[in-house]
Amino acid sequence: MKLKKILGIDIGGSGVKGAIVHTKKGHLVTNRFRIPTPQPATPEAVAGVIKKITEHFKWTGPVGVGFPGVIQRGIARTAANVDDSWIDRDLNKLFSETTGCRVHVVNDADAAGMAESKFGAGKGETGVVLLITVGTGLGTVLFVNGKPVPNLELGHIILHGDDAELYASDAARKNEELEWEAWAGRFNEYLLRLEELIWPDKIIIGGGASKKGEKFFPYLTTKAPVVPAKLMNEAGIVGAALVSRYYNKMENKDRKKKKK
């Protein structure tokens, strides 16, 4: 099976977005197709949205899906910004059965990090690189000499007695109607706290807020340089497709071994 093109899907708190990705070149070969995240965002409701996206693209091949929570071997262990009914569900199985496609699910920040590490602002970087997706929540992924640390939930450290993403995410800025400079002060607090904990050599900012970097980057004071993600908010879609490509290749190898 040739796996150059794979459908990547990114589940967010406000929207579910998908596009066909050229996994060798790291770019979208179609326009993004977006459907608002259903409310309540139950597994079955979101599975129905993913099916609509596959039907929109008339897609029957492999699918990669980025999910806002910890994923262990396709099973959701947390469910930030969606619904608690996701916890302990086998999402690979649910989405595969719903769509009729072979689906692999990965943490959304891990997906974005994979894309940026291979094709974007983290390409060729050594040392410790931290990527943060800033949107409805705060997704984090850490790379050490190009190798990811999976399911790192640093968006949920405690700041001012509460979950950091309730204080410093882009959703917090919008919900509290904060000016960019005021919100940048909050986000800078969050970055400084992370810097105290892990001392990254470089910080990459992705997610929806990355498109507005000029409005808040000047107020950030970390020792590590802060740069925007090159793939911007397409990184999650590209990375989900890359992860699906990897797992499909491994599964195809396993099947060939069993036939021998």
Q: Supply the CATH classification number for the domain 123-229.
A: 3.30.420.40
Superfamily covering domain 5-110+234-259: ATPase, nucleotide binding domain (3.30.420.40)
- Could you state, in order of their start, the residue ranges of all structural domains in the chain? 5-110+234-259, 123-229
Q: Report how far residue 219's alpha carbon sits from residue 242's, in angstroms, rounded to the nearest whole number.
A: 34
Residue with tokens 């980025």: 66
DSSP line for 143-212: EETTEEETT--GGGSEETTEEHHHHHSHHHHHHTT--HHHHHHHHHHHHHHHHHHH--SEEEEESGGGGG
Q: Encoding tokens for residue 99?
A: 């769509």
Query: 0.75 exceeded by the pTM?
Result: yes
Token digits for 73?
Answer: 């071997």
Q: State how far the Cα of 245 lies from the Cα of 7, in Å rounded to an integer.
A: 10
Q: Let me know if the fold of 5-110+234-259 is the same as that of 123-229.
A: yes
Q: 205: closest CA among 134, 157, 145, 144?
A: 134
Assign 102 to helix, strand or coil: coil
pLDDT in tens, the chain (260 residues): 567 899 999 998 889 999 999 999 999 999 999 999 999 999 999 999 999 999 999 999 999 999 999 999 999 999 877 888 999 999 999 999 999 999 999 999 999 999 999 999 999 999 999 999 998 889 999 999 988 898 888 999 999 999 999 999 999 999 999 999 999 999 999 999 999 999 999 999 998 888 899 999 999 999 999 999 999 878 999 999 999 998 888 877 766 777 66
